[in-house]
Structure 1
Amino acid sequence: MQNNHPSISGLPLVSIVIPCYKHKDFLKRCLDSVAAQTYENLEVVIIDDCSPDGSSEEIARLIQSVSWESRFPNRTQFYPFTKNQGAHAAINYGITQAKGNIIAILNSDDTYHPQRLQLIVKEMQAKGCEFAFSRVQYIDADDRIVTESHPQARSYFAAQETIRQFPSVGFACFTYNVSISTGNFVFTKELFNRVGHFNNYLYCHDWDFLLRSIVHTEPLFLEQDLYYYRFHGKNSFESLGSIGSQETHKILTAFISQIRNSLPPNRLAPSPFNWPDLFELFIHWYGYDKLNTSG
């Protein structure tokens, strides 16, 4: 991996892409968690998707502070959209502007553990991985841990606890978005160029990108609490749930069609080529054989 800042020897440049929409109240905590990263070679790319709540002004104020500029000298890009384009468009634009060979996404209402990128990049390099995500903890608007008390948080946490039960991480990803959120994604720019942009889904753009990625590479799952997902009453899953089933059907149909028609580059990916007997049992068990994948 190329090092874009030679003064930080041996560390690949990581671009943290932060899409924002109406999260003014959480921006300082989000950016503070970026500034607190123990990993040194970072740049930050922030995209505000035409927020009506003053988020752009708040971002500009925060990144102009002395402390921010001393932590990220000439390594912050900020793009305020003049028209709302959706989360997928904000993420895609940020990635195309990023200079790093590794992309880390952070949703603007969430936060990172201070050692997140140091630990993930180290493991990615040691194991030659192109895509990684970690275990997630869940917080409320006041930063209190709600992993055990919030029903949806319990469900999400339980889903990640099942990952080790599957024959591969890719199989776990096939059953559910066990990465939980785009903000939990860390991947190489080269992988993004092969997989393609995030698609225009309101609810499942993260799972769609994850499934398309596992065709190419086996994900790395770090069983450490390195990402903090915030429940604050205005999360997208709460307002877009009715759309989720439609999008889920569409992305699963496309994924199954792809892996049935050609040998995936990832030799651990769930497919009839890699797992000839297990694959058919698996899709029958999960009811995926009822999907119309003939097209």
Structure 2
Amino acid sequence: MAKERIEGLVSVVITNFNRAAYIRECLDSILQQTYENWEIILIDDASTDHSVAVAREWLEESKRFFPRENQVLIHELPRNIGFSGAINVGHYLSRGEFIAIQDSDDFSHILRFSRQVEYLKNHPQIDLVGTNYYAFSADNPEKKQLAGWIKYGDDIRKVYGNGGHCVCHGTCMFRGRLFDQIGGPTRRIEGAEDYEFIAKALNARAGVNNIAEALYYYRTHAEQRSAHYYRKKGG
């Protein structure tokens, strides 16, 4: 039987591993969304820094601003299981009609969820929508560069059909039923889990597109999980 999902709710799945320096800005960007019907599911992958303490401090300070109670779940894994394992835990815990990905070292534009929910409601044939984004270095946050590798429409399926990649995983919002149908990122391909998830969605005949507006801010830094993949893309 299909999972019951809450209409209109955006389940924001955030995985965290040692992102104490960035996680407050990430969480603030969710709190500031113009779209208020969301829940945060923060999965900590056995961090060894104080990022969970930072997140819990943020929660205590911010909860008075939440539109309703019990909007934030901080779940600490007992051992490190890697990105794909952690994000799948978050997806399984999600309750929303929509699931949004948010990396803990990045942050979102305040209009991101409003734009993506509106797009999915107006395009019933689309199951997953990403956005364009600005990339910036942690060492120089004022200098932001618009990504040039994002594709749109029919070009997306062509790119993935040729083994390419043109959807930024951190920007994705998809219908919860898509995860219920195909599952989340694989644990078999370390470093390319985001590519595999989009390819799997396309193979399942899901509709995939990107919004041209830049609604996400992608931070590059030496410790990020995908640093060498990002440099290879040149985005």
With the length of structure 2 as denominator, give the TM-score of the two structures.
0.87
Of 68-77 and 221-230, deviating more is 68-77
Partner of 1:49: 45
Q: Is the 8 A contact 1:12 1:100 kept in 2?
A: yes
Deviation at 1:184, TM superposition (A): 1.4
Question: What is the aligned partner in structure 2 of residue 84 from structure 1?
Answer: 80
Aligned to 2:191: 203
Q: Aligned pair 1:135/2:132, yes or no?
A: yes
Q: Any conservation in 1 of the 2:156–2:166 contact (CA below 8 Å)?
A: no
Partner of 2:149: 159
2:108 corresponds to which residue? 112
Moved over 4 A (4+): none
Q: How does 1:1-295 map to 2 (within 5 A)?
A: 4=6, 12-65=8-61, 67-71=62-66, 73-128=69-124, 129-141=126-138, 143-147=141-145, 157-160=147-150, 163-164=151-152, 167-174=154-161, 175-180=163-168, 182-200=169-187, 201-215=189-203, 216-238=205-227
Q: Following the alignment from structure 1 to structure 2, what is the Cα–Cα distance between the partners of residues 45 and 237?
A: 22
Q: Secondary structure of the equivalent of 2:226?
A: helix
State the shift of 1:202 in Å: 1.9
The structure in which a higher percent of residues are strand is 2
CA contact (8 A) 2:11 2:98 kept: yes
What one-letter code is carried by the residue in structure 2 that aligns with 1:179? Answer: V
Q: Is the 8 A contact 1:48 1:80 kept in 2?
A: yes
Deviation at 1:167, TM superposition (A): 4.0
Instruction: Find the residue that maps to 1:24 and give its secondary structure.
Output: coil
What CA distance in whole angstroms lies between the structure 2 residues aligned with 1:59 and 1:169? 36
CA deviation vs aligned residue, 1:125-147 (integer Å, no higher than 9, x gap): 10112100000111222532332
1:106, distance to aligned residue in structure 2 (A)? 0.2
What CA RMSD, in Å, does the superposition of the two structures yield over aligned residues? Answer: 2.1
2: distance between equivalents of 1:203 and 1:240? 8
CA distance in 2, matches of 1:221, 1:173: 14
Unpaired segments of 5 or more residues in structure 1?
A: 5-10, 149-156, 245-295
Number of residue pairs matched? Answer: 222
Which structure exhibits the higher relative contact order, with contacts defined as CA atoms closer than 8 Å and separated by 6 or more residues?
Answer: 2
- CA distance in 1: counterparts of 2:154 and 2:42, whole angstroms: 37
Counterparts in 2 of 1:82 and 1:3: CA distance versus 1, 3 Å: closer
Task: Point out the structure with max Rg over C-alpha.
Answer: 1
- Find the residue that maps to 1:79 and give its secondary structure: strand
Percent same amino acid among aligned pairs?
24
State the partner residue of 1:259: none
1:221, distance to aligned residue in structure 2 (A): 1.1
Asked whether the equivalents of residues 173 and 179 of structure 1 are also in contact (C-alpha less than 8 Å), the reply is: no
Contact residue 134 and residue 218 of structure 2 kept, 8 A:
yes
Unaligned runs of 5+ in 2: none
